[in-house]
Chains A and B, each alone.
Chain A
Amino acid sequence: MKTFARLLGVGALALATLAWMPPAAAQQENMIDTIKSRGKLQVGFASFVPWAMRDKQGQWVGFEIDVSTKLAKDLGVQLELIPTAWDGIIPSLIAKKFDVIIGGMSITPARQEQIDFTTPYSNSGQGVVASTVLASKLKWPDDYNNANITLSCRRGVSGCKTLEEKFPKANLRQFDDDAIAFQEVINGKAHLVISSEPKPTFMMLKNPDKLFKPTPDTVTVSVEGFGLRKGNAVAMTTFNEWIAKNKDWLKQRHTYWFKTQEWAAQVPE
């Protein structure tokens, strides 16, 4: 359904682009001027823990919210958050429903055909945790490539493919639900589980006696950038400069949201 809807979104977008495409290079919009005269920075994003989520009061919190808030403040304008369904987020950007996507969007070649990305302001990837009972003596990564090792993942995520490629000899068990994939390892029925960070880290912090990290690194890495409509050279420069200037701050906020659970009391669960 999601994929279908996304395809539709892309289809609609393609149609819209065909119909309304002005000569691409001719239309340079100076978005920063627009933002300043409007007095508001409009940011599109979708909810995803811990990028952007609702706290107990129903307010938005998360890494992206911190980033957007500071960006708006530094530009000297107000922030308008525009929560958008992920499937339609790129068409919405192109339809000018907001100025910029700050939504943990990984930079991929397919997306770059439609929109521009700033330099990366964050990185994420797939992480692994292993069962303390079964795997505490195993050496990462060589010992895991063995016929009597059981690996666990959620069906259809890129992590499954990563495990298959990295450990061709091991047994791979695929589950429909992330929670169940982790439960197998917590119950000591599988040695290792892969999932999108920071979930593995959080699960380890929640079950410190059952789970540990065989490697602190992510197994695969992706980087995220702000998404902009094509042909926004001024805004691109402004945002890139902002990202470079706030490198340490971004890193610190990223650590807070992705490596700690200090914020856990704010959100329901």
Chain B
Amino acid sequence: MHDQAASSVSTRPAPRRRRAHWSWIDLVLLFGGAGLLAYLAWQTNTAFAYHWDWSTIWPFIVRYDAASGRWVSNLLVDGLLTTLRLAFWGILLAGIIGTLMGLCRTSQRLFLRMVGTSYVMLIRNIPPVVFVFVFVYFIASQIMPTLAIGDSVAQWSSSAQFWIGILFGTPRLIDNFVLGLICLSVFSGAYVTEIVRAGIESVPRAQIEAGKSLGLSRADVTRFVVLPQAFRNVVPPMAGQFIQLIKDSSLVSLVSIQELTFMAQDVQVSTQRVFEVFVFIAVVYFVICFGLSRVFAALERRYAQAHH
């Protein structure tokens, strides 16, 4: 799929304005769909016999702190911030891992190719949930205590700790956060690797030869000729993968990383409002992912324009 999208970029004609045109079939489908939704909503309210009560979950978003006389964030917002931090650093780290491994995958050296291939095959053929468990209890638990990030951060100056707090969350939970972040990035990086490889392979051979004949070194050909074109070609699948990463971040709640889904489960248990909490976090994830997909769409348009 990527290859197709990629190769079509260079020859893609300027998008034509599509006319809004409605046939009667569209109208029937639209009303049919709306009717079905209305029926489902009605069923949920009657046959389901669940008393919706949203009032209990609002205090878990923000609450009034009587002691300081201010509004402060509560569990759901704290969880959301952790999810956003996971997403931000995760995309960055998965992008770096994916690029390096993608270069390995397409390298001319057998050893590097083998490293890249082993990494991708190992991760791509294990279900995400299994990977998270194995990675955390099996690999990371042996490494994290040795790094002792939390202990060293605790000795830093208070202003350094303030910035760490903004960037990575509460210093007290930093080991926990880093663990989740590495897990997510290593996992997601394998898919990014494949996208990067597809992008690199989509760059026509002639481009590389042209670069070489201009006297560029192999590293410079990669840097100035291959990668810029490869990245431009892979924006659409990469957007999909990064959005996937944000959704996958909910998986690390299984190993007690205190992000949105984990916090939501706490709130569910404490308030007994299971469905309200689920609906709420579904909306939150949607807003984040939809927002990101708009950003990538804009990026894609910009690249397409720059190319023409």
Contacts and interface: CB of A to CB of B under 8 A. Distances in A.
A12 B270 contact: no
Contacts of B145: 96
Contact of A88 (B60, B78, B254): B254
A5 B131 CA distance: 12
A147 B256 CA distance: 47
A161 interface: no
A83 B129 contact: no
Interface residues of A, number: 37
A8 to B, nearest CB: 5
Given A8-B133, A85-B262, A56 B63 contact: yes
A92 B256 contact: yes
Contact of A49 (B129, B256, B265, B272): B272
Nearest to A53: B270
A83 B256 contact: yes
A41 B265 CA distance: 25
Given A58-B60, A58-B75, A269 B137 contact: no
A95 B141 contact: yes
Interface in B264-298: 265-267, 269-273
Given A95-B137, A96-B145, A269 B271 contact: yes
Contacts of A15: 134, 138
Contacts of A92: 137, 255-256
A21 interface: no
A264 interface: no
A234 interface: no
A264 to B, nearest CB: 12
B56 interface: yes
Contacts, number: 95
Interface string A63-99: 0000000000000000000111101100110111100
A65 to B, nearest CB: 12
B142 interface: yes
A253 interface: no
Interface in B79-97: none
A8 B129 contact: yes
A145 B262 CA distance: 43
A87 B258 CA distance: 15
A82 B137 contact: no
Given A8-B133, A96-B145, A268 B256 contact: no
A19 B134 CA distance: 12
Contacts of B78: 58
A9 interface: yes
Interface residues of B, number: 33
B270 A268 contact: yes
B253 interface: yes
A16 interface: yes
A267 interface: yes
Nearest to B253: A85
Given A8-B130, A58-B60, A96-B145, A88 B270 contact: no
A11 B134 CA distance: 9
Most chain B beta-carbon neighbours within 10 Å: one of A49, A55, A82, A268:
A268
Contact of A269 (B129, B255, B272): B272
B25 interface: no
Given A53-B270, A57-B63, A88-B133, A47 B141 contact: no
A88 B129 CA distance: 12
A233 interface: no
B240 interface: no
A180 interface: yes
B138 A16 contact: yes
B106 interface: no
A58 B74 contact: yes
Given A12-B133, A58-B63, A49 B254 contact: no
B49 interface: yes
Contacts of A49: 269-270, 272
26 contacts: A11-B133, A12-B134, A15-B134, A16-B138, A49-B269, A49-B270, A53-B270, A54-B270, A55-B270, A58-B60, A58-B78, A83-B256, A83-B262, A85-B255, A85-B265, A88-B137, A91-B133, A91-B137, A92-B256, A95-B141, A96-B145, A97-B141, A97-B256, A267-B271, A268-B271, A269-B273
Q: Which 6 A-B pairs have the closest CB atoms?
A: A95-B141, A53-B270, A12-B133, A54-B270, A47-B269, A268-B56
